Amino acid sequence: MKVDQYPFAQELITDTEGNIKKVIIDFPDYLRLLEAIEDEGLILAMQEVQHETPLNLNEVLLELEKQ
Span 9-60, pLDDT tens digits? 889 999 999 999 999 999 999 999 999 999 999 999 999 999 999 999 999 9
Could you say which DSSP state residue 52 is in? S
Residue 21 φ then ψ, to 5°: -110, -30
CB atoms within 10 A of CB 22: 9
What's the pTM?
0.60
Contacts of 63 (CB under 8 A, 6+ apart): 55
Q: How confident is the model at residue 4 (pLDDT cuts 50, 70, 90)?
A: confident
User: In 3D, which of 13, 32, 31 has the Cα closest to residue 23?
Assistant: 13
Determine the pLDDT at residue 26. 95
Distance (Å, whole) CA 25 – CA 7: 9
